[in-house]
Homo-oligomer: A and B are copies of this chain.
Amino acid sequence: MAETVRMTAEEVHGLIRRVLTANGFDAANTEAIAANMGGAECSGAASHGLFRLPGHVRAVAAGKASGQARPAVSRPAPGIVRVDGDRGFTPISHRAGLAPLAEAAREQGVAVLAIARTLHFAALWPEVETLAAGGLCAIAMTSSPPYVAQPGGTQRVFGTNPLAFGWPRQGHPPMVWDMATAAMARGEISLAKRDGHGVPEGTGIDADGRPTTDPAAILEGAQLPFGGVKGGLLALMVDLMAGPLIGELTSLEAGAEDPLPGLTEVSGEIVVAFDPARLGARFDGAEALFAAIAGQEGARLPGDRRTAARARIAAEGVAVPAALHAEISALAPGG
């Protein structure tokens, strides 16, 4: 086991705030990002927690994103809330746009939040979880950078293009899931390369477009969507809806002139919220389905692992790799 540093939730959030403040993020952006990133770290989602902090600092230092964004909200149609993200990370745009989206969905029955000019460098579930906690059913999608090929093709065309879904429950935390349409997270492929083992067939192709299980060859070549052709259809839908549909870039366009590995041009996110009350929802039918799933040995409901991790981390704190802790601490000298 690598060495770790144990931190309380309060220490995690405090460290994120100090680092962002020391690196040109203003108070509003710092608060929004710290709540999102600290929340991910303290929900067991380490890959979207402190691990992302150096990337935030790097993106602002390189001029790819703003730490002082002031998103602008407009309402171009009764069912559309539009946020110009002002080149900031998405959490500050969510603070501006999620409440108007929820209000529009309750008024209209359904509404879209279209966020433009933003850098989505976080987990996708917090926004659908926020909406579902407020009683709405929600879908979110974002795209870029381009790492994934169309099945059958040889070139990178899609981002890892995640899709998230939230369902409100009565007397329970919302049912929430979030998945990349890529077969495997890029970080996991990098870990397999470091540790010298192969990855499953279907994870990716080499630079010549040939199927391979060699993680190094895939990182040079292209990842593949999960589930073959069908996953590719979803990746295409996400790319179109989080990009061109709302006037934003495709993954291909956002990554075309990428000067920083993993950081693309600011681009879009789409969130769709549905009001179950206006749609005549039957929550008992959903609960019966959840009970049928959770009652089977071997099956579990999406999000159960996250709920358990939250309780554990609230009680015991979270173990952060010592190397990451040192790297981050160095970004806030004297903090």
Q: How far is the CA of A192 from the CA of B167 in the complex (A)?
A: 37
Q: Which single member of B108, B111, B151, B244 contacts A282 (CB below 8 Å)?
A: B244
Q: How far is the CA of A181 from the CA of B149 in the complex (A)?
A: 21
Q: Which of A253-308 contact B (CB under 8 A)?
A: 253, 272, 274-276, 278-286, 288-289, 292-293, 296-300, 302
Q: How far is the CA of A282 from the CA of B245 in the complex (A)?
A: 7
Residue of B nearest to A227 (CB): B227
Please give, as numbers and ranges, the residues of chain B lying within 8 Å of A65 by CB-CB distance. Answer: none
| Nearest Cβ on chain B to A294's Cβ, whole angstroms | 9
Please give, as numbers and ranges, the residues of chain B lying within 8 Å of A95 by CB-CB distance. Answer: none
Q: How far is the CA of A227 from the CA of B283 in the complex (A)?
A: 28
Q: Of A111, A230, A278, A281, which is in contact with the most chain B CB atoms at under 10 Å from its CB?
A: A230
Pair B299/A233 contact, Cβ less than 8 Å: no
Category for how many chain A residues contact B: 35 or more
Please give, as numbers and ranges, the residues of chain B lying within 8 Å of A110 by CB-CB distance. Answer: 79-80, 108, 110-112, 272
Q: Which of A97-114 contact B (CB under 8 A)?
A: 107-112, 114
Known contacts being A153-B298, A248-B282, is A230 close to B237, with CB within 8 Å? no
Report copies per complex. 2
Please give, as numbers and ranges, the residues of chain B lying within 8 Å of A78 by CB-CB distance. Answer: 78-79, 107-109
Q: How far is the CA of A165 from the CA of B154 in the complex (A)?
A: 24
Q: Which of A162-201 contact B (CB under 8 A)?
A: 165, 167, 177, 179, 181
Please give, as numbers and ranges, the residues of chain B lying within 8 Å of A283 by CB-CB distance. Answer: 244
Q: Does A71 sit at the interface, judged by CB under 8 A?
A: no
Q: How far is the CA of A302 from the CA of B150 in the complex (A)?
A: 11
Q: How far is the CA of A300 from the CA of B149 in the complex (A)?
A: 12
Q: Does A33 sit at the interface, judged by CB under 8 A?
A: no
Q: Does A240 sit at the interface, judged by CB under 8 A?
A: yes
The 6 closest A-B pairs by CB, nearest first: A227-B227, A153-B299, A77-B109, A247-B280, A79-B108, A80-B109
30 CB contacts below 8 A, A to B, read A78-B79, A78-B109, A79-B110, A80-B109, A80-B278, A108-B110, A109-B111, A110-B112, A112-B279, A114-B279, A139-B237, A150-B299, A151-B299, A154-B298, A154-B299, A165-B233, A226-B230, A227-B231, A234-B234, A244-B276, A244-B283, A244-B285, A244-B289, A245-B276, A245-B281, A246-B280, A247-B282, A252-B288, A252-B289, A253-B288
